[in-house]
Amino acid sequence: MTAALIDRFRDRLPVSERTPVVSLGEGSTPLLPAPRLARTAGLGELWLKWEASNPTGSYKDRGMTVAVSKALEEGFGAVVCASTGNTAASAAAYAARAGLRALVLVPGGAVAGAKLAQTRMLGAKVLELDGDFGATLAVAQELADRGEHALVNSLNPFRREGQKTAVFEIVEELGSPPDVLVLPFGGGGNTSSYAQALAELGLGTPIVSVEAAERRTTIASAIRIGEPAHAEAVAASQALVVAVSDEELIAAWRELAALEGLFCEPSSAAGLAALRRGEVDGDRVVVTVTGHGLKDPVVAESHAAPAVSVRADADAVLEAVGR
């Protein structure tokens, strides 16, 4: 039987025997070697923490299992979040699993349609607000302050507690810490979670946190956040913050798919974009790939090579592929 993340790391999480475990089998995600990308980047070892294999397709599930379990323990009947998409789907799934209502607020026109469809299918009430992510988050916070809803954004410390477990898995599987950890930077909750895990392990492993150069307009909708909620925590973590262009994101995203067979959403390639540019020091590097490419298929459709129509004839097929 698959172990729930809370049960696997119970001694490192703020839970007790009274905490009802709301799980969908999150965590224990693959740590994959990437030899072709390593050679391209001139690295001895490159490892990819493939968080897209979590139940709803992103790393958010690590934190959501803890946040929703604690919300249920504390007697809440509903959860609320603001989201650029992945938190929405995760909150909806874990709320459904717990038998709670989910209210999801999104900035209008700023969230990938596949993520909204996933969230609606999971039973959440989805409202599109006429503001950016910051304004949407402020409304979610106000609703939580009124007492009926538990806020399950990463401002909820239980979210970050769950998300830190990715670092525990990386160090455990490698047998020792990597030279550096690299991950995308949207709101900054995951960076602060990684820093917390390293502190708990007594490690000084550096973190490279990679944001979009044009935060408010980037093609990478998951990190399209103008004002990061955890900017102070990221600064306190002493992570190296690197800004990459959309062109660099797209190039890294396509290269990951072509060379290593992993299809992620554009934001998840941020760490690889920094690596390709030479911003990452170390010979044994772990890059966290945070979400699945099926989260944003419209963007993929616009950047993938088009399908070609060919007669149902073997010679015609060989001619079309240039043989």
Q: What pLDDT score does 10 carry? A: 97
Residue in the block written with tokens 């009430």: 125
Q: What pLDDT score does 322 carry? A: 86
How does DSSP classify residue 101?
E
Read off the pLDDT of residues 220-274 as tens digits, 9 standing for 90 and up. Answer: 999 999 999 999 999 999 999 999 999 999 999 999 999 999 999 999 999 999 9
**Structure-block tokens of residue 156:** 């909820």
**Which is it for the CA torsion 305, 310, 313, 319, positive or negative?**
negative
Q: What pLDDT score does 63 carry? A: 98
Cβ partners under 8 Å of residue 292, min gap 6: 52, 57, 58, 263, 264, 265
Residues 162/62, Cβ–Cβ less than 8 Å: yes
pLDDT at residue 1 is higher than 80 = no
pLDDT at residue 281 is higher than 90 = yes
Q: What pLDDT score does 246 carry? A: 97
CA pair distance 130, 170, nearest whole angstrom = 40
CA pair distance 219, 171, nearest whole angstrom = 32
Read off the pLDDT of residues 109-128 as tens digits, 9 standing for 90 and up. Answer: 989 999 999 999 999 999 99
Distance (Å) of CA 115 to CA 36, 187, 241: 31, 18, 27
Read off the pLDDT of residues 68-111 as tens digits, 9 standing for 90 and up. Answer: 999 999 999 999 999 999 999 999 999 999 999 999 999 999 89
CA pair distance 270, 242, nearest whole angstrom = 9
Task: For residues 16-44, give the mean pLDDT.
Answer: 97
pLDDT at residue 323 is higher than 90 = no
DSSP output for 201-241: HT----EEEEEESSTTT-S-GGG--SS-TTHHHHHHTTPEE
Distance (Å) of CA 94 to CA 89, 247, 265, 272, 294: 9, 35, 22, 30, 20
Question: What is the band of 176 on the pLDDT scale with cuts at 50, 70, 90?
Answer: very high
CA pair distance 123, 79, nearest whole angstrom = 12
How does DSSP classify residue 280?
-
pTM of the entire predicted model: 0.95
Q: What pLDDT score does 235 carry? A: 97
**3 state DSSP class of 155:** coil
Strands 45-50 vs 180-184: parallel, antiparallel or unpaired? unpaired
**3 state DSSP class of 123:** coil
CB atoms within 10 A of CB 301: 9
- For the chain, domains (ranges, CATH) are 5-58+158-303 (3.40.50.1100), 60-155 (3.40.50.1100)
Phi then psi for residue 33, to 5 deg, are -70, 145
